[in-house]
Amino acid sequence: MLRDVLRILGLWRGHAGWLAAGVLVAVLSALAGLALLVLAARVIAGAVAAGHADAALLAGLGVAALVWLRPVMLFRPLARYVERLVTHEATFRALAGMRVWFFRRLAERLPTGLGLRRAGDLLGRLVSDVEALDGLYLRVIVPGAAALAVVLAMALLVGAAEPGLAAILALPLAAALALPVLLAPAAARAGEGVARAQGALRSAVVEPLTGIEDTLAANAEGRAAARVAAEGAALAAAQQRLARRGAWGGAAGALLTQAALLGALAWALAAAEHAVASALLAVFLAVAAAESLGLMPRAGASLAAAAAGARRLFEAADTPAPVPEPAEPAAPPTGHALRLDGVTFAWAPDRPPVFEGLDLEVPAGARVALLGPSGAGKSTLAALLLKFAAPQAGTITLGGVDLARIPSAELRRRVAWLTQDARLFDDSIAANLRLAAPEATEADLWRALDRARIGDLVRALPEGLETPCGEAGSRFSGGQARRLALARTLLSPAPVLILDEPAAGLDADTERAFLETLDEATQGRTVILILHRLLGVERPTRILRLIGGRAIPATG
Amino acid sequence: MASPAPGADAGAAALLKREARAERARLIPPVLIGIGIAACGIAQAWLLARLLATLLGRGDAGWAELAGAAALALLMAGLGVAQERAQIAAAEHAKARLRAAAFARLLAAGPADERAVGEKSTLVVERIEALEGYFARWLPAAMLAVLAPLLVAGAAALADGPSGLILLAAGLAVPVAQAVSGIGAAQASRRQFEALQRLSGRFLDRMRGLPVLVLFNQQQAEAARLGAAAEELRARTMRVLRIAFLSAGAMELIIATALASLAYRHGALVQGAHPAPVAALFVLLLVPVFFAPLRAFAGAYHEAMAARGAAAELAPLLDAPEESGLLLEEIPPKVTVTFQDVTLSYDPSRQPALGGVSFRVLPGETLVLTGASGAGKTSVLRILMGFRRPDSGRVAINGHDITRLRPSELRRLSSYVSQRAHIFPGTIRENIRLARPEADDAAVEAAARAAQVSEFAALLPQGLDTPVGEGGYGLSGGQAQRVAVARAFLRDSPLVLLDEPTAHLDPGTEAVVLDALRRLCVGRTAILASHARAARVGHGRVLELSHGRAGASRMAGN
């Protein structure tokens, strides 16, 4: 647990200034709160004691306290306000950095997407877990520092005159301070339970909504709702467990501060008359400290929740990258000829191999049609060429350079892949296209759209290139979305294009027209066309059929 | 950011008021316990004051009072635990009810609600969770903030009238300060939630398309854009908090003023020996007791604002009418589908998807809809699935208007295979069984065989029990499609709706699947949308759609 927390603190290094300032203001504000009550109490005590044996001393203190009361009274609210602002500002700055860090890490470690990880769960990881981490600073570090300052101040003030009394006062309060750390491991388990339950609930909500058509078609609404209700109940139970721990921690903290207060009173009852002044100070300090310290044990629950969030964040972010970046990258390749030698590959050790000793050569500028039944490994080949996976045996070279030695960013500048499930983002058409070429002019965009045979349709839209696509291109029909994705790939300046079923979802006439003009649309580039059949208009320079893990020359 | 609709606040307030009324009985225990805690606090303050006065030489209290104070401390700690439990219980019930309602409405809206899934899931998860503070802390705290300080001020007034008045005045100043700073907080709070919702929607969208971003080397640029979105969230949140914290500062100012006033009254104004030493110390010690419920109230005020922001988003969803319509008494064994001058438009600024389509399909007949993409083939199927209601015209099944049926009832008549079947996380077997949960293993396996799922499942390590992931990880597009066909076999319904079921299959698989589909359609009413030539052969009557209008129909193969 400690390791994860320390790692989070390491990630926050860039915001150390804001974070430290927040702690400092919090300490000042807490001490001002302490001073305020003690001063008011001394004024009254002085008045009450007037005329008594030791009155001279106590009344003098009362008058001195009255002088200090006014500035402290004004300072305390101001300090409190500034404390809140600065600590929250610091938290949000640190959290924003964390979101970005996490996304970058996932892009690096899970580039092929979610796979068996549930998307809803991942969403929860970023949003909830990152937010749970604000508890680490706001509810653990800041109040902890303030309470520590309060306890130290009390020990010093009282300890100077009466060390024994200082011990009676400070020991229970120190225990209240230590309580969160002691309670954290148990609360961590409860916090983990809450985070897990919330992830499960989100998955239960996201999955049926993602496949909404299939959910409704199966009349599975009731089952989906029952699952959401069950996961909701599980979440509530987990929250109950966490809250109960927090409540008991709160009760323990309250009792410890009460112990300090009553202990000081007992000491005063038993002690001789001369120590009354110190005893009174101790009692008032104990009353004032209750506010700073009373809530400390609840920090245990926050610490636990933050630690659970941190652990889940790091668990996802530390998934090993599927293909490591080369330690010593080779000089960028000059040519674009692709060559596979004896490539053997399986997605997992317990899955049958997709390729066994695959040899394949694609000269620069060639137009290769790759055929084969579904599941024969056409898309797997593309994944290997883009280093989304690495072969278990054999080599793949681009321009004579081993892919393993080419940095993946460098490789992906040279090879563009239109995947079967290429996705449009919930953004404008222009923004979606510019993913492939951020600098592209509007004229470039229109040219790519025309080549993908969708320019006319986009022109007819009232908002044109600025038309939003909707999630996964939901504003368009399947065929239209496919053509937009195709336009995006054509816009890419990469010299090698891998087009996986570029015409899927197009009607027969459009498909034929597109394939006929493919030559012109991809002039001068290497094209690997992955198809399940040839229409006879593609004019490939080579036709290969993937069967049994090998590529066999074919004739249409 | 457009300013929020004027109705949003009213909707949020109405929703919260309604729910608070519904939970009234559950809110009484935490309030009663809170009053008990305040009473204990008062009693303890009296005992402590007597002890302090004794120390100052003005009383005769001793160990008995100290023991009493300790007993009260224990009692208060126990009551605190009980209060926490009672609060959580009140929120739990309200959240469960609202979550179920929100999720049911989202399902009922179906594909017609085009918001991103991340955005919708935020409504059901985060927004509902944001209401917890309202029920668990705000409502009890709001009641206690009135009752408990009155009790404390009353006790103070009994001991010393002017001191009681000082506390009462301070208590009255708190809501005034809250209201002054709270007016802007409500709007700011809603804006913060909008930012959070957009951020999570955007993140889910980008995570699903992560391969695309990586392929175009855009992951860094997108990370920067996500950073900007997070930065926007920070700015928004801080705007809320700048105002919310003003009230926290005001609260501290009020407490400080009350303390100082008491000090002046009992310290500076009294000449000579204080006439009522215990009372003076008592009212001083009452200050923390007096402000504890007000502090809790101020802390919860921010949660109330947050809840109002969440409720403003939830209100339109929850206020939507519940799915209505007739229920089916039984599923007819045979159905006739009739379309008569049906029009449908998704977006008034675009050409209508259907511009007056008419046809009839008889039991045992298969109608093949053809036409360019965007010609309206899918729209016909969406209407029959109840995902959309026609704008005009009449759609009837066995002569009964389908718009009178509840959409979920309409779907009981049909099985549906879409262009790209969704594979849910779980095993292949679970994915097939989705279509008919009560089916036994033999029926699932028969459906798997009929749809050629068994063929590829046999090669997987765990056969039909192989887990498949979100988006069908581990299954190719063709395999996923065959799972969907198996669902249709298992469902065994009188109406079969097929939307480009073979668009992504290679010719070998396509032929096999089409053969299976042909067997599926025997004896049922079937509508197949397809532009693949192979799909039309031998399937039945062909109706060509063009720009949302039906052309001449002809027999397949002609």
DSSP state of B50: H
pLDDT at B187: 61
Note whether A202 contacts B125, CB cutoff 8 Å.
yes
Residue B302 pLDDT > 70, yes or no?
no
Most confident range, picked from B50-64, B140-154, B527-541? B140-154
A50–B84: do the CB atoms touch at under 8 Å?
A: no
A116 contacts B104? CB cut-off 8 A: no
Compute the average pLDDT of residues A121-136.
69
**CB-CB under 8 Å, A457 with B124:** no
Residue A105 has pLDDT above 90, yes or no: no
Q: Which of B356, B516, B346 is nearest to B526 (CA)?
A: B516
The amino acid that residue A548 corresponds to is: G
Q: What is the mean pLDDT of residues A400-429?
A: 88
Nearest CA in chain A to B474: A115
Task: Return the bridge partners of A341, or none.
Answer: A395
User: Residue B350 has which token pair?
Assistant: 């675009």
φ/ψ region of A78 (left if φ > 0, alpha if ψ in -120 to 50, else beta) reads alpha
* Interface test mutation site (partner B, options A52, A103, A244, max chain B beta carbons within 10 A): A103
Q: Least CB-CB distance to A206: which of B121, B262, B460? A: B121
Residues B203 and A126 sit within 8 Å (Cβ to Cβ): yes
How far does A2 lie from chain B, in Å, by closest CA?
27
- pLDDT, tens only, A357-380: 888 889 988 888 888 766 677 778
pLDDT at A431: 92
How near does any CA of chain B get to the CA of A156, in Å? 22
Helices B219-263/B161-208 angle, 10° precision: 180
pLDDT in the model for residue B536? 60
Tell me which amino acid residue B324 is: S
Average pLDDT over residues A108-118: 59
Which residues have a Cβ under 8 Å from the Cβ of B447 and sit 6 or more positions away? Answer: B432, B439, B453, B486, B487, B489, B490
In angstroms, the CA A37 to CA A382 distance is 72
| Beta strand pairing call for B392-397 and B337-344 | antiparallel
**Which of A31, A68, A84, A123 has the highest number of chain B CBs within 10 A, making it the mutation to test binding with B?**
A123
> Considering chain B, what percentage of its residues have pLDDT values greater than 70?
89
B260·A73 Cβ contact <8 A: yes
Q: What percent of chain A has pLDDT over 90?
A: 24
Token digits for B68? 């009493």
Count of A-B CB contacts under 8 Å: 487
Q: What confidence score (pLDDT) does residue A549 get? A: 73
Amino acid (one-letter) located at B189: S
CB atoms B274 and A461 under 8 Å: no
Q: How far is B505 from chain A (nearest CA, A)?
A: 7
Residue A43 · residue B267 · CB < 8 Å = yes
Q: Which residue has the higher pLDDT, A59 or B353?
A: B353
- Cβ contact (<8 Å) for B110 and A216? yes
Nearest to B274 among A50, A110, A276 (CB): A50
Whether residue B115 has pLDDT greater than 80: no
Nearest to B95 by CA among A244, A206, A201: A201
Pick the more confident residue, A198 or A134: A198
CATH number of B337-555: 3.40.50.300
Most confident of A171-180, A264-273, B296-305: A171-180
pLDDT of residue A556: 45
Most confident of A95-109, A158-172, B182-196: A158-172
Residues of chain B contacting residue A200, judged by C-beta atoms under 8 Å apart: none
- In angstroms, rounded to a whole number, what is the distance separating the alpha carbons of residues A28 and A21? 11
Alpha carbon separation from B165 to A44, B250, B254, B292, B396 (Å, rounded): 18, 19, 14, 18, 75
Q: Answer yes or no: is pLDDT of A340 > 80.
A: yes
Calculate the dihedral angle through the C-alpha atoms of B164, B168, B169, B171, rounding to the nearest 10 degrees.
140
Q: Do A103 and B223 touch (CB under 8 A)?
A: yes
- Chain B residues near residue A110 by CB distance under 8 angstroms: 210
- A109-123, B228-242, B397-411, B439-453: lowest mean pLDDT where? A109-123
Residues B207, A123 contacting (CB under 8 angstroms): yes
| Alpha helices (H) in A13-115, listed in sequence order | 16-49, 55-109
B88: nearest CB among A211, A243, A438? A243
pLDDT at A51 over 60: no
What the block records as the tokens of A263 is 């202990």
Tens of pLDDT, residue by residue over B363-417, are 989 999 888 777 788 889 999 998 888 999 999 999 999 989 888 899 999 999 9
Of A106-110, B23-27, B144-148, B517-521, minimum mean pLDDT range: A106-110
Range with the poorest average pLDDT among A236-245, B35-44, B146-155, B194-203:
B194-203
pLDDT at B448: 93
The pLDDT assigned to B445 comes to: 94
How many percent of chain B have pLDDT more than 90? Answer: 30
pLDDT-derived band of residue B4, with 50, 70 and 90 as boundaries? very low
| pLDDT value for A328 | 85
Which one of A117, A285, A426, A475 would you mutate to disrupt binding with B, by most B Cβ within 10 Å of its Cβ? Answer: A426
pLDDT at A8 > cutoff 90: no
CB contact under 8 A, B245 and A81: yes
pLDDT in tens, A378-406: 778 888 898 888 899 999 999 989 998 99
Calculate what percentage of chain A has a pLDDT beyond 70: 90
- Binary contact (A48, B53; C-beta < 8 A): yes
How far, in Å, are B161, B172, B187 from residue B154 at the CA level? Answer: 9, 14, 37
For range B480-485, the mean pLDDT: 87
Interface residue of B58, B212, B499 to substitute, partner A, most A CBs within 10 Å: B212
- How close does chain B come to A426, measured CA to CA in Å? 7
Question: Which residue among A107, A108, A212 places its CB closest to the CB of B110?
Answer: A212
Q: Looking at A298-302, B22-26, B55-59, B161-165, which range is the least confident one?
A: A298-302
pLDDT digits (tens, 9 = 90+) for B406-448: 888 999 999 999 877 888 888 999 999 999 999 999 999 999 9
Confidence of residue B112 (pLDDT cuts 50, 70, 90): confident
Computed from CA positions of residues A458, A464, A465, A470, in that sequence, does the dihedral angle turn out positive or negative?
negative
The residue among A391 and B351 whose pLDDT is bigger is A391
Residue B3 has a pLDDT of 38
Cβ <8 Å between B51 and A117: no
Average pLDDT over residues B502-530: 81
- DSSP letter at B469 equals -
Residue B283: which of B149, B150, B160, B145 has the closest Cα?
A: B160
Residue-wise pLDDT for A434-482, tens only, equals 999 999 999 999 999 998 888 988 998 888 999 988 877 777 877 788 8
Question: How confident is the model at residue B188, as a pLDDT?
Answer: 60
Does B557 have pLDDT greater than 50? no
| Mean of per-residue pLDDT scores for chain B | 84
Across the interface, whether the CB atoms of A118 and B425 are under 8 A apart is answered: yes
Segment A37-51 shows an average pLDDT of: 76
Helix-helix angle B161-208:B139-159, to 10 degrees:
160
The residues spanned by each domain of chain A are 15-317, 338-553
Mean pLDDT of A234-257: 88
Instruction: Give the distance from residue A113's alpha carbon to the nearest chain B alpha carbon, in angstroms.
Output: 5
The pLDDT value recorded for residue A50 is 66
The least confident of A486-495, B1-10, B242-251 is B1-10
Tokens of B440: 């036994």
* Mutation target among B506, B510, B513 for the A interface, most CBs of A within 10 A: B506
How many CB atoms are located within 10 Å of the residue A346 CB?
17
Q: Are A480 and A507 in contact (CB under 8 A)?
A: no
Partner residue opposite B207 with nearest CB, options A119, A209, A223: A119
Q: What is the 3-state secondary structure (H, E, C) of B143-166?
A: HHHHHHHHHHHHHHHHHCHHHHHH
Q: Which of A127-131, A134-138, A303-307, B434-438 has the lowest mean pLDDT?
A: A127-131
Check: CB of residue A99 under 8 Å from CB of residue A91.
no
Name every chain B residue with its beta carbon within 8 A of the beta carbon of A129: none
Identify the residue with better confidence: A509 or A401: A401
pLDDT category at A20 given cuts 50, 70, 90 is very high
To the question of domain A338-553 being in CATH 2.40.128.30, the answer is: no
pLDDT the model gives residue A148 = 92
Q: Which CATH superfamily is domain A15-317 in?
A: ABC transporter type 1, transmembrane domain (1.20.1560.10)
Residue A496: band (very low, low, confident or very high) from pLDDT cuts 50, 70, 90 = very high
Q: Say which amino acid occupies A235.
A: L
Task: With CB atoms and an 8 Å threshold, state whether A412 touches B214.
Answer: yes
In SS3 terms, B381-432 reads as HHHHCCCCCCCEEEEEECCEEHHHECHHHHHCCEEEECCCCCCCCEEHHHHH
Say what the pLDDT of residue B45 is: 94
* pLDDT tier for residue B558 given thresholds of 50, 70 and 90: very low
Note the Cα B420 to chain centre separation in Å: 27
Q: Do A217 and B416 touch (CB under 8 A)?
A: yes
Q: Are B373 and A505 a contacting pair at CB < 8 A?
A: yes
Are the Cβ atoms of B81 and A510 closer than 8 angstroms? no
Q: Which residue of B has its CA nearest to A236?
A: B92
What CATH homologous superfamily does B16-319 map to?
Answer: ABC transporter type 1, transmembrane domain (1.20.1560.10)
pLDDT grade for B181, boundaries at 50, 70 and 90: low
Judging contacts by C-beta atoms under 8 Å, the chain B residues touching residue A269 are 51, 54-55, 62-63, 66
User: How many residues are present in chain A?
Assistant: 556
Instruction: State whether residue B330 is helix, strand or coil.
Output: coil
- Closest CB to A44: pick one of B263, B412, B531: B263
Round to whole Å and give the CA distance between A407 and A324.
9
Q: Quick one: closest CA in A to B456, which residue?
A: A375
Q: Are B355 and B55 in contact (CB under 8 A)?
A: no
Q: Looking at residues A229-235, what average pLDDT do you find? A: 95
**Average pLDDT, whole number, for chain A?**
83
pLDDT band at A491 (very low <50, low <70, confident <90, very high): very high
Q: Which of B47, B55, B242, B482 to mutate to test the interface with A (most CBs of A within 10 A)?
A: B55
Residues of B whose CB is below 8 A from A44: 262-263, 266-267, 280-281, 284
Closest by CA to B504, choosing from B470, B467, B535, B547, is B535
Report residue B1's pLDDT band, with 50, 70 and 90 as the boundaries.
Answer: very low
Structure tokens at B429: 């077997």
Residues of chain A in contact with residue B210, where contact means CB-CB under 8 angstroms, are 106-107, 110-114
| pLDDT tier for residue B556 given thresholds of 50, 70 and 90 | very low
pLDDT at B552 over 80: no
* pLDDT for residue B537: 60
For an interface test with B, give the residue of A25, A84, A138, A214 to mutate (most B CBs within 10 A).
A214
Label residue A98 by pLDDT band (50, 70, 90): confident
User: Between A50 and A513, whose confidence is greater?
Assistant: A513
Tell me the domain boundaries of chain B: 16-319, 337-555
Top-confidence range, A279-283, A313-317, B67-71, B262-266: B67-71
pLDDT at position A152: 93
